[in-house]
Amino acid sequence: MAQSQSLNGKRVLLIIGGGIAAYKTLDLIRRLRERGASVRAIMTRAAQEFVTPLSVSSLTGEKVYTDLFDLTDEAEMGHIQLSRSADLIIAAPATADLMAKMAMGRADDLASTALLATDTPVLIAPAMNVRMWLHPATQRNIAQLKADGIAFIGPGEGDMACGEYGPGRMAEPLEILSAAEAMLGAGTGPLAGLKALVTSGPTHEPIDPVRYIANRSSGKQGHAIAAALARLGAETLLISGPVNLPDPLGVSTKHVETAREMLAACEAALPADIAVCAAAVADWRVDNEAGQKIKKEKGGLPQLSFTENPDILATLSKLNHSRPRLVIGFAAETENVIEHASAKRERKGCDWIVANDVSVDETGGGVMGGEENTIHLIRAEGREDWPRMAKSAAAEKLAHAIAQHFSLSDEGPRS
Ligand code: PMT
């Protein structure tokens, strides 16, 4: 099968740090190049203990840069030029030391100098021993780097080369690749120039300061849709309820707790061309929320009274002037899936509805919180039944259906 040229013409500067995971960057270079990117590499001194500049340069097809004070390099390409001429800088493996230098703004070797001398987006793939990752000093540096706008991919959790277990394993080359694609995707692709908003995850509706009502939505489906839309070039805002997922790369994320906050965030994001409401918004909230923790010792059972939450999907669908051009709702059903979902599409006034069966399966799991989904896409013109697939694949398919919809409509982007 022909390899996608998703990174055609993109220039990546890869900074290879000194860790055992450095060997994985050889595969990363190969995959970046397969997708059409050109790759220049800087290696720290320690990185050269793990992989040789010769191997790296054979794969990049370019000279490998190692030394800040190499006058030939300065004549050929200064370190400032080296980092500024890239569309994306990837630091992998990003060691504790490299991250500390970045957080402090130090520039005492070519890698740290290139990272300081640029305003190019930076993606880092940390890799280190679990104790080093969990150390308060590293955690402080992580917080600083995130505040500085550095994007992170990983680290993953698992067995480590040092024999310990926990967070600290570098993300796999394919994961780094898709993060890079997401970061480089904005502005190009079939949805370029369009603005999308996506809701995802559950909402938490407070009972008192410590208790709330929630549901089993993990946000996996909605987050994957936001990432897929961004990969196709849409300027994407993800409005997420409380989830345990990292913010997707290439997407702006706004975190909210309640249905009312989610609605306010959606309204603040308008105008938009596309709205995908994948969040499992609580239909009701407690209208006698207690200001203090409800005490068991008081005796009796608390009397909760409920009121209806605003319906975000219906609100967006029924707007007059600022209605997104394509409003897509989800229908989470446990019986008569198609019938209920079709009725929901009519009632709420959205253009498309994505029906999924959220019954609990024989393993005690299911679509909510699970990794896979079986979708029925219901539109005015008919229904498509998709086979069961990974939520990321379903998101990709939905994003392509959206792109096709806009390619068939002759309206340009909303100004
Ligand atoms: O998060 P995951 O674990 O990955 O699971 C994905 C999912 C099952 C949550 C997702 O695929 C899904 O079905 N989301 C919609 C869940 C839901 O709330 O369905 P509903 O049938 O109750 O609501 C219908 C539509 O109205 C939805 O688009 C919902 O976002 C919207 N709604 C509902 C209530 C409300 N007050 N405001 C809304 O906008």
- Enclosing H/E stretch for 332: strand 326-333
Q: Whose CA is nearest to atom 14 of ligand 1?
A: 278
Residue to mutate, 258, 277, 309, ligand 1, most ligand atoms under 8 Å from C-beta:
277
Q: Which domain holds residue 168?
A: 11-183
Q: What is the pLDDT of residue 297?
A: 82
- Answer whether 266 contacts ligand 1 (Cβ < 6 A): no
**Longest CA pairwise span in the chain (Å):** 82
pLDDT given for residue 61 in this prediction: 96
46, 172, 285 from 179: Cα distances, Å: 25, 11, 37
pLDDT of residue 389: 93
pLDDT in tens, 118-150: 889 999 999 999 999 999 999 999 999 998 989
163 and 247 part of one domain: no
What residue's CA is closest to ligand 1, atom 21?
331
Please name the residue whose Cα sits nearest to atom 33 of ligand 1: 281
Residue at 345: amino acid letter: R
What one-character-per-residue DSSP string does 219-265 give? SHHHHHHHHHHHHTT-EEEEEE-S-SSPPPTTSEEEE--SHHHHHHH
DSSP label at residue 147: H
Q: Which of 163, 183, 203 is where one domain is finished?
A: 183
Which has the closest alpha carbon to 13: 142, 173, 121? 121
Domain boundary among 164, 183, 202: 183
Residues 336, 378 share a domain = yes
Q: Confirm or reject: Cβ of 356 under 6 Å from ligand 1.
A: yes
Which residues does the annotation mark as catalytic?
162
* Residue-by-residue pLDDT tens, the chain, 415 positions: 456 677 888 899 999 999 999 999 999 999 999 989 999 999 999 999 999 999 999 999 999 999 877 645 555 567 777 888 899 999 999 999 999 999 999 999 999 999 999 889 999 999 999 999 999 999 999 999 998 989 999 998 877 777 788 889 999 999 999 899 888 875 578 998 899 999 999 999 999 999 999 999 999 999 999 999 988 889 899 999 999 998 888 888 899 999 999 999 999 999 999 999 999 999 999 999 999 999 988 778 999 999 999 999 999 999 999 999 999 999 999 999 999 999 999 999 999 999 999 888 877 788 999 999 999 999 999 999 999 999 999 999 999 999 999 998 755 554 4
Q: Tell me, what CATH number does 393's domain have?
A: 3.40.50.10300
The alpha carbon of 222 and the centre of ligand 1 are apart by a number of angstroms equal to 10
Q: Is residue 246 part of a domain?
A: yes
What does the pLDDT read at residue 71? 46
Q: Are residues 367 and 384 in the same domain?
A: yes
Closest to 398 in 3D by CA, of 339, 337, 352, 346: 352
Which atom of ligand 1 lies closest to the CA of 201?
A: 1
CB atoms within 10 A of CB 259: 25
Q: Looking at ligand 1, which atom is closest to the CA of residue 216?
A: 3
Q: Decide if 380 contacts 349 (C-beta within 8 A).
A: no
Q: How far is the CA of 279 from the centre of ligand 1 (A)?
A: 5
pLDDT value for 162: 73
Residue 5 lies in a domain: no
Ligand 1 site, residue 277, Cβ cutoff 6 A: yes
Count of domains in the chain? 2
96: left (phi > 0), else alpha (psi -120 to 50), else beta? alpha
Asked whether residue 2 is assigned to any structural domain, the reply reads no
**Does the CB atom of residue 399 touch ligand 1 within 6 A?**
no
